[in-house]
Amino acid sequence: MTRNIMSTLSFEIHPFQSYSSSSFQIENPKPNLLNSSSKESTVDIIHAKVIKNGTIQHLHVGNYLLNLYVKSQNLGYAQELFDEFSDRDVQSWTILIAGFNRIGSSKMALDLFTKMQKESISPNKFTFSSVLKCCASVNDLRMGKAIHGLITRDGIILDVVLVNSILDFYVKCGAFNYAEKLFELMTEKDTVSWNIIIGAYLQIGDMQKALSLFRWLPVKDVASWNTIIDGHMRNGLESNALDLLYQIVEIGPVFNEATFTIALVLVSSLSILELGKQIHGRVLRIGIHNDGFVRDSIIDMYCKCGQMEKASVIFQSLPQDFVRHNSKISWDESVVGSISCSVMVAGYVLNGRLEEALKVFGTMVREQFEVDKFTLTTIVSACANVGLLELGQQIHGHLLKIGHKVDVFLGSSMIDMYAKCGRLDDAWSIFRQTNVRNIVLWTSMISSCALHGQGREAIRLFELMQNEGITPNEVSFVGVLTACTHAGLVKEGHKYFKLMKEVYGIKPGVEHLTCMVDLLGRAGRLDEIKDFIYENAISHLTAVWSAFLSSCRVHKNIEMARWVSEKLLELEPFEAGAYVLLSNTCATNHRWDEAAKLRGLMQEKGVKKHPGQSWIQLKNRVHTFVMGDRSHPQEAEIYSYLDNLIGKLKEIGYSTDVNLVMQDVEEEQKEVLVSFHSEKLAIAYGLICTSHGTPIRVMKNLRVCTDCHNFIKTCENAVEEALGVN
């Protein structure tokens, strides 16, 4: 490459901004990999020897020792040694700059580069290459351009490696026009050059251009294949990525660790367990199963494919160093252990095994592993789903204590957690305290208001979001349609459904369509639901028919319910929902023989109803109840207390709704059955075990029945009356 080509891209050379190093501590930011409490490290021995024989005074010896400290990632000692040099050349500066860049301390490296300029030390091509990587890491396009201008001005000899660094910098900073023009002007291109520009087109979603360049690429190395396969995955083209994966198996180069990792991520996204097992077998045969990233990808693959036992076996086989105290393990080990733990936490949560997820999370905290925002977001979301308010509050408090900034994703999870745990005011507090609000955060708050029945407030937020210039997405419309459904706002629901399709061009998904059916159903417009289903050609969606059937039961339309249940059973003959809803509808209308036949048909076909459950967390333990549950150690005390409580509530106006009993039994037995619903047992246990004034939060897997709703409201009124609250 010649200089005149480079000068074709003109730049204004700006003064380098100074990056403050006040946050950097001279103590070793990451433990010395070679050091241990029992013996001196190799670097320390060499350091002592050169001091003793006096050769430390020679700059090339000092640079050699400096390079050893950098390679051992002991940047604290490297900085001290560097500061002691009486004379420093470009190699000294470059070694230290590259070292800080390697561990991710880009701002520290750029600060060193600025000091180097002030001391009139001329950078070489290796210095420029490292500094350009730093600029890319902090997305500083202005400074990177200035460095490009310096290279051009100072006549630095441009080899393909340095030009690739410039090309990579522009791509990572999103300056695709500069990258494209530079690539076209390059007279010497290697495979790395092609891979960078292919990656650039993949980054902006120009798949046609990326594939065209890939096909023109003279020599496709393993990095080329990794780039094109990963790019297809990132653009949602998993099937095409899988075809490319099969091609590299047939004609491409040998897989490296990155290829295996990409292949495993692809298998995870497609849930192809058998292929995942084959890749795992290949990894074991070639002996790279102990590579941290490959191993974590295998664990993640089994988690995503629902094979938690296999994932757990691999996780449990991690070296014992991963479960030792952080002060006794190396930085690399702690990072890999942290990633493995994070993957397992996400896997357990994904597969509904929260208890195991919390145990692994507890290990991470106890062993002082780094807990990233992804893991915190995962745990907070799990807390939301099962109502673990105390744990969610502890995580929130921990974030405030360590000064961890809450980004929009973690913030939206915390809003969701507080809302689902009944603390809408706290959800509002998180929302108001977040300076940067994107679509995710707005949607979380809209959905939270919808969950609490504040339909008008959710609509107000939705309109405000649009006024702020934020375009709603599919999830936003689910939130606002749900709000309309819960608040009975039929006119508004139709308005936003139309807006979603005609203005924003969003194709209605299952959740949007189900919301509309539920909206019409709650308003008693059952005939309109039939028209809506056929007009939108959604008769194949079971969720829609389930919502329709539920509305038929609410409005006691048994003939319509029978017709809807037939449609639903055609789609899902072994799902309990249709049988139970139709049976309950028959029972509500005292058609006991039909209800009994449906229950018998369920038994004949082996269809099992998922039982209603309620759970309450007390003193870091979750207690679960089902209707008529006698398994709890304190069951006698619970039932006695509940009997007395119901008796007292009846004195102030509460009466059990025996019409909810779906069995043909005597009135007294019906009352007994209604009295011991799971949420009532959980409430009674909560009242027994908590002190006066303590909030009681009960979570359910099914909707609360009207009798339990009245029971809870009467309890609240009784408490307010006792406390003199208006």
- pTM reported for the whole predicted model: 0.69
pLDDT at res. 491 = 94
Q: For tokens 């000091």, what's the residue?
A: 115
pLDDT at res. 719 = 63
Whole-number Å distance between alpha carbons of 564 and 553: 11
pLDDT at res. 229 = 94
pLDDT at res. 293 = 85
What six digits make up the tokens of 671? 């009352």
Please identify every stretch of the chain with a pLDDT value under 70, giving residue numbers as ranges.
Answer: 1-41, 319-337, 573-611, 620, 657-674, 719-726
| Non-local CB neighbours of 505 within 8 Å, separated by 6+ positions | none
Confirm if 302 and 286 have CB atoms less than 8 A apart.
no
What six digits make up the tokens of 57? 């005074």
On the CB side of 367, CA atoms within 13 Å amount to 22
Q: What are phi and psi of 65, to 5 degrees?
A: -65, -40
Q: Homologous superfamily of 528-610 in CATH?
A: Tetratricopeptide repeat domain (1.25.40.10)
Helix ranges (DSSP H) in 537-591: 542-554, 558-571, 576-588
* Rounded to 5°, angle at Cα 410 from 507 and 377: 95
pLDDT at res. 589 = 60
Neighbours of 49 (CB within 10 A): 12
In three-state form (DSSP H/G/I as H, E/B as E, the rest C), the secondary structure along 671-687 is HHHHHCCHHHHHHHHHH
pLDDT at res. 24 = 29
Confirm if 2 and 143 have CB atoms less than 8 A apart.
no
Whole-number Å distance between alpha carbons of 67 and 373: 33
Closest by CA to 301, choosing from 288, 287, 290, 315, is 315
| Non-local CB neighbours of 261 within 8 Å, separated by 6+ positions | 293, 294, 297
**Can you give the length of the chain in residues?**
726
| Non-local CB neighbours of 79 within 8 Å, separated by 6+ positions | 26, 96
Confirm if 276 and 301 have CB atoms less than 8 A apart.
yes
Closest by CA to 385, choosing from 572, 196, 194, 615, is 615
Tell me the domain boundaries of the chain: 255-371, 528-610, 613-723
Confirm if 80 and 48 have CB atoms less than 8 A apart.
no
Q: What are phi and psi of 404, to 5 degrees?
A: -70, 125
- Is residue 335 within a helix (H) or strand (E), and if so which, with residue range? helix 331-350
- Is residue 615 within a helix (H) or strand (E), and if so which, with residue range? strand 613-618
pLDDT at res. 585 = 65
- Please name the amino acid found at residue 38: S
Q: For tokens 């039982």, what's the residue?
A: 611
Task: State whether the Cα torsion 75-81-84-87 is positive or negative.
Answer: negative
DSSP-based three-state secondary structure for 715: helix
Buried b (16+ CB within 10 A) or exposed e, 293-315: ebbbbbbbbbbbbebbebbbebb
Q: What is the DSSP string of 355-391?
A: HHHHHHHHHHHHTT----HHHHHHHHHHHHHHT-HHH
- Please name the amino acid found at residue 426: D
Angle, in degrees to the nearest 10, between helices 191-203 and 176-185: 150
Check residue 610 and report its DSSP letter: P
Whole-number Å distance between alpha carbons of 505 and 446: 21
DSSP-based three-state secondary structure for 624: strand
| Non-local CB neighbours of 24 within 8 Å, separated by 6+ positions | 105, 108
Closest by CA to 262, choosing from 240, 305, 233, is 233
Which pLDDT tens digit goes with each residue over 302-327?
Answer: 999 999 999 999 888 876 444 443 33
Which pLDDT tens digit goes with each residue over 605-617?
Answer: 565 666 678 888 8
Q: What is the DSSP string of 202-223?
A: HHTT-HHHHHHHHHH-SS--HH
Closest by CA to 551, choosing from 509, 575, 516, is 516
Distances (CA, A) of 118 to 114, 135, 224: 6, 19, 40
Strand order through the sheet with 699-700: 621-626, 613-618, 699-700
DSSP-based three-state secondary structure for 61: helix
Neighbours of 185 (CB within 10 A): 15
Classify strands 621-626 and 613-618 as parallel, antiparallel or unpaired: antiparallel
Closest by CA to 512, choosing from 488, 532, 530, is 532
